[in-house]
Amino acid sequence: MYNVTLIPGDGIGPSVIDVAVKVLEATGIKFKWDKQLAGMAAVYEHDTPIPDAVLESIRKNKLVLKGPLTTPVGGGYRSVNVALRQEFQLYANLRPAVTFEGTISPFKNVDITLIRENTEGLYAGIEHDIVVDNEKIAAESIALITRKGSERICRFAFEHAKSHKRKKVTAVHKANIMKCTAGMFLEIAKEVAKDYPDVEFEDKIIDACAMQLVMSPQNYDVIVTTNLFGDILSDLTAGLIGGLGLTAGANIGKDVALFEAVHGSAPDIAGQNKANPIAVIKAGVMLLQHVGEFKAAKAIDKAIHEMVAEGKYVTPDINPKTKCGTREMGSELISRVKKAVAK
């Protein structure tokens, strides 16, 4: 029995999380879900986007399956996702992008694991307004990069490459311009690479990397990069394999691991039974792998890939002509997973 904190999230979150929970339970593995509100849903219910109860639950269970959380643009409360990553020091964000047969993506044979530093850099949101005579005349954002943070993420990337038999790690940066911050990240990546002579190492400047990822994604294997670059590039790699509806991420710290889709709360399709649940189900697959339930993880993953390749039980983001919705896709997958584990 696994005790897991379950955060349904905002927008399309509750509908895709509901499917993911049923698919995970279809493997026969027992879970005790501790359902907690966060984000906009918690603001409505408890007047705060991060109630203490959600933090206590995560501290206790150490495993989290999370739906997307809305972050107001511009004003309003700060990102709950960023706050959770910092509170639990979930320093490594692992976002695999592996080709699905049957999507509209023209890219084939993509198999990239993007590893993003998750707690530092520009994305950490250390910023303030500069106000003179009651007028905001400027704003300043601080990209704090530490030696410790850079070393632990680079080491995580090489350890991941080694344990998953990957051939190459590419460190992505902008060290030609941001010589202090990105420069230190690159210097540390080079130092860490020396400890892993069996893993090939290269570095790329972020802009060139973005172009090459679109021209020849097959040249990339494991990518390690800083927070904001990783955020942007992981949406790009999601696009290479058919979109955000298919891509999941793991946020790993020393004690806690949190699994989620790469996508957001998708307000444009919320409540329409159109959301693709695969990304969150794939997050569940990563959770199973994390706790060592490899057989169940493989059964779900295989069923997902077969179903997408067939193209019938898929949501409109994969096949615009389909009449299949979130719930129908979920029901079909649940029955396929049940059959697979019964064999």
Contact residues toward ligand NAD (CB under 6 A) are 12, 16, 68-71, 81, 244-245, 260, 263-269, 275-276, 279, 317
Residue holding tokens 């311009």?
177
Annotated catalytic, 231?
A: yes
Q: Cβ 116 to ligand NAD, closest distance in Å?
A: 12
Residue holding tokens 């069996």?
198
From 123, 204, 220, 313, the catalytic residue: 123
- Residue 71 or 226 with smaller CB distance to ligand NAD: 71
- Residue 135 or 268 with smaller CB distance to ligand NAD: 268
Q: Cβ 68 to ligand NAD, closest distance in Å?
A: 4
Residue holding tokens 């004690």?
255
Q: How far apart, in Å, are the Cα atoms of 105 and each of 35, 44, 74, 150, 243?
A: 35, 38, 33, 33, 8
- Residue 83 or 210 with smaller CB distance to ligand NAD: 83
Nearest to residue 225, comparing CAs of 104, 95, 63, 343? 95
CA distance 222 to 52: 36
Q: Cβ 333 to ligand NAD, closest distance in Å?
A: 14
Indicate the burial class of 111 (C-beta count within 10 angstroms; 0-12, 13-18, 19 or more): middle
Q: Cβ 208 to ligand NAD, closest distance in Å?
A: 25
Annotated catalytic, 162?
A: no
Q: How far apart, in Å, are the Cα atoms of 54 and each of 37, 63, 202?
A: 7, 12, 40
Instruction: Sort strands 92-98 and 222-225 into parallel, antiparallel or unpaired.
Output: unpaired
Nearest to residue 69, comparing CAs of 96, 95, 37? 37
Q: Cβ 79 to ligand NAD, closest distance in Å?
A: 7
CA distance 138 to 249: 35
Annotated catalytic, 111?
A: no
- Residue 235 or 301 with smaller CB distance to ligand NAD: 235
Q: Cβ 336 to ligand NAD, closest distance in Å?
A: 19
- Residue 73 or 137 with smaller CB distance to ligand NAD: 73
- Residue 71 or 105 with smaller CB distance to ligand NAD: 71
From 129, 195, 207, 255, the catalytic residue: 207
From 10, 231, 313, 317, the catalytic residue: 231
Annotated catalytic, 302?
A: no
By three-state DSSP, how is residue 214 classified?
A: helix
Q: How far apart, in Å, are the Cα atoms of 228 and each of 116, 119, 145, 238, 313?
A: 8, 10, 12, 16, 35
Known catalytic residues are 123, 174, 207, 231
